[in-house]
Amino acid sequence: MALKMVKGSIDRMFDKNLQDLVRGIRNHKEDEAKFISACIDEIKHELKQDNIAVKANAVCKLTYLQMLGYDVSWAAFNIIEVMSSSKFTFKRIGYLAASQCFHEGTDVIMLTTNQIRKDLSSPNQYDTGVALTGLSCFVTPDLARDLANDIMTLMSHTKPYIRKKAVLIMYKVFLKYPESLRPAFPRLKEKLEDPDPGVQSAAVNVICELARRNPKNYLSLAPLFFKLMTSSTNNWVLIKIIKLFGALTPLEPRLGKKLIEPLTNLIHSTSAMSLLYECVNTVIAVLISLSSGMPNHSASIQLCVQKLRILIEDSDQNLKYLGLLAMSKILKTHPKSVQSHKDLILQCLDDKDESIRLRALDLLYGMVSKKNLMEIVKKLMIHVDKAEGTTYRDELLTKIIDICSQSNYQYITNFEWYISILVELTRLEGTRHGHLIASQMLDVAIRVKAIRSFAVSQMAMLLDNAHLLTGNTQRNGICEVLYAAAWICGEFSEHLEEPMQTLEAMLRPKVTTLPGHIQAVYVQNAVKLFATVLARQEGAGDRQAAQETTELLIEKLPQFVQSSDLEASCILQLIKYIQKLQAKEVSVSEEVSALFAGELNPVAPKAQKKVPIPDGLDLDSWINKPLREIESEDEKPRAVFQVEEPQHSRPRVPEIDEKELAKRREVRKQEQASNPFYIKSSPSPQKETANVDHIPVVQIDLTVPLKVPGMPMSEQYVKLEEDRRQKQKQDKKKDKKKKKEKEKKRGKGRRLDSAHTESEEDIAPAQSVDIMTEEMPENALPSDEDDKDPNDPYRALDIDLDKPMVDSDKLPVQTHRPTEGLKSPDPVAGVEEQDEKKSSKKIKKDKERKDKERKKSKEEKKKKKHRKSTPGEEEEGQVEKPAPAAAESKITALPTAPPTEDFDLDFWLSSAPVPSQSQPELVDPAPSSEPEEPKDEEEREESKSSKHKKQQHRKEKEEKSKKKKKKKHQDEGKAKSVQNGTLEEEEEPLPPMTNYSLLAENSDIKMVSTGQQGARMV
- Return the closest-CA partner of residue 582 out of 609, 557, 554, 608: 554
Q: Are 422 and 441 in contact (CB under 8 A)?
A: yes
CB of 957 to another protein, least distance (A): 19
Which residue(s) pair with 771 in the sheet? 448
CA distance 986 to 997: 14
Quick one: which of 770, 1006, 1013, 1015 contacts another protein (CB under 8 A)?
A: 1006
Q: What is each CA distance from 886 to 849, 870, 900, in whole angstroms?
A: 15, 10, 10
CB of 167 to another protein, least distance (A): 9
CB of 484 to another protein, least distance (A): 31
Task: Provide the residue count of the chain.
Answer: 1018
Q: Output b/e per residue, 923-950; b: 16+ Cβ within 10 A.
A: bbebbeebbebbbebbeebbbebbeebb
Quick one: which of 146, 278, 362, 721 contacts another protein (CB under 8 A)?
A: 278
- Return the closest-CA partner of residue 469 out of 503, 501, 492, 438: 438
Q: Does 239 bind another protein (CB under 8 A)?
A: yes
User: CA dihedral in degrees (863, 868, 873, 878; nearest 10)?
Assistant: -50
Q: What is each CA distance from 57 to 28, 83, 340, in whole angstroms?
A: 21, 12, 65
* Closer residue to another protein, CB minimum distance, 701 or 984: 984
* Closer residue to another protein, CB minimum distance, 212 or 845: 212
Q: Which range touches another protein (CB under 8 A), out of 616-624, 776-784, 912-920, 1002-1010?
A: 1002-1010
CA 282 to chain centre: 18
Q: Does 288 bind another protein (CB under 8 A)?
A: no
CB of 267 to another protein, least distance (A): 14
Which of positions 131-150 make contact with another protein (CB under 8 A)? 132-133, 136-137
* Closer residue to another protein, CB minimum distance, 194 or 491: 194
How crowded is residue 828: how many other Cβ atoms within 10 Å of its Cβ? Answer: 15
Q: Does 250 bind another protein (CB under 8 A)?
A: no
> In 358-468, which ranges are E strands?
none
Q: Does 243 bind another protein (CB under 8 A)?
A: yes
Q: Does 651 bind another protein (CB under 8 A)?
A: no
Burial classification of residue 365, based on how many CB atoms lie within 10 Å of its CB (0-12 exposed, 13-18 middle, 19 or more buried): middle
Kindly write out the interface string for residues 962-991 of this chain, putting x where it contacts another protein by CB under 8 A and - elsewhere. Answer: ---------x--xx--x----xx--xxxxx
Quick one: which of 544, 626, 629, 641 contacts another protein (CB under 8 A)?
A: 641
Amino acid making up residue 311: L
Q: Which range touches another protein (CB under 8 A), out of 16-24, 442-450, 877-885, 930-938?
A: 16-24
Q: Output b/e per residue, 673-682; b: 16+ Cβ within 10 A.
A: eebeeeeeee
CB of 168 to another protein, least distance (A): 5
Q: What is each CA distance from 663 to 290, 614, 779, in whole angstroms?
A: 42, 12, 11
CB of 102 to another protein, least distance (A): 9
Please name the residues in contact with 176: beta carbons below 8 A apart, sequence gap of 6 or more: 139, 140, 141, 143, 144
* Closer residue to another protein, CB minimum distance, 165 or 227: 165
* Closer residue to another protein, CB minimum distance, 293 or 989: 989
Binding residues for another protein, how many (CB under 8 A)?
80
Q: Output b/e per residue, 306-333; b: 16+ Cβ within 10 A.
A: ebbbebbebebebbbbbbbbbbbbbbee
CB of 243 to another protein, least distance (A): 7
Quick one: which of 198, 250, 602, 821 contacts another protein (CB under 8 A)?
A: 198
Q: Does 277 bind another protein (CB under 8 A)?
A: yes
CB of 118 to another protein, least distance (A): 18
Which of positions 343-372 make contact with another protein (CB under 8 A)? 352-353, 355-356
Q: Does 996 bind another protein (CB under 8 A)?
A: yes
Q: Does 205 bind another protein (CB under 8 A)?
A: yes
* Closer residue to another protein, CB minimum distance, 875 or 988: 988
Q: Does 749 bind another protein (CB under 8 A)?
A: no
Angle at 679 between CA 677 and CA 682, to 5 degrees: 105
Phi, psi of 61 (to 5 degrees): -65, -40
Quick one: which of 226, 321, 409, 417 contacts another protein (CB under 8 A)?
A: 321
Q: Are 547 and 536 in contact (CB under 8 A)?
A: no
CB of 636 to another protein, least distance (A): 15
* Closer residue to another protein, CB minimum distance, 100 or 524: 100
Helices 253-269 and 235-248: crossing angle, nearest 10°?
Answer: 150
CB of 724 to another protein, least distance (A): 41
Quick one: which of 146, 193, 209, 942 contacts another protein (CB under 8 A)?
A: 209
Which of positions 538-567 make contact with another protein (CB under 8 A)? none
Which residue(s) pair with 448 in the sheet? 771
Quick one: which of 5, 18, 570, 613 contacts another protein (CB under 8 A)?
A: 18
Quick one: which of 49, 269, 318, 674 contacts another protein (CB under 8 A)?
A: 318
* Closer residue to another protein, CB minimum distance, 171 or 417: 171
CA 690 to chain centre: 42
Q: Which range touches another protein (CB under 8 A), out of 675-683, 752-760, 776-784, 1004-1012?
A: 1004-1012
Which of positions 256-275 make contact with another protein (CB under 8 A)? 273-274
CA distance 420 to 452: 13
Q: Does 494 bind another protein (CB under 8 A)?
A: no
First to last CA, the chain: 50
Which of positions 54-113 make contact with another protein (CB under 8 A)? 60, 63-64, 66-69, 71, 73, 88-89, 92-93, 96, 100, 103-105
Q: Which range touches another protein (CB under 8 A), out of 198-206, 534-542, 575-583, 750-758?
A: 198-206
Burial classification of residue 883, based on how many CB atoms lie within 10 Å of its CB (0-12 exposed, 13-18 middle, 19 or more buried): middle
> In 638-770, which ranges are E strands?
none
CA distance 111 to 927: 47
Quick one: which of 165, 370, 452, 823 contacts another protein (CB under 8 A)?
A: 165
CA distance 494 to 811: 74
* Closer residue to another protein, CB minimum distance, 18 or 299: 18
CB of 814 to another protein, least distance (A): 23
- Return the closest-CA partner of residue 612 out of 649, 657, 655: 649
CB of 113 to another protein, least distance (A): 18
What does R_g of the chain's alpha carbons equal in angstroms?
A: 37
CB of 103 to another protein, least distance (A): 5
* Closer residue to another protein, CB minimum distance, 221 or 469: 221
Q: Does 164 bind another protein (CB under 8 A)?
A: yes
Quick one: which of 115, 269, 317, 943 contacts another protein (CB under 8 A)?
A: 317
Quick one: which of 603, 999, 1013, 1015 contacts another protein (CB under 8 A)?
A: 999
* Closer residue to another protein, CB minimum distance, 31 or 104: 104
Q: Which range touches another protein (CB under 8 A), out of 147-155, 232-240, 426-434, 567-575?
A: 232-240
* Closer residue to another protein, CB minimum distance, 164 or 528: 164
Q: Are 588 and 534 in contact (CB under 8 A)?
A: yes
CA distance 457 to 756: 37
CA distance 601 to 426: 25
CB of 162 to another protein, least distance (A): 12
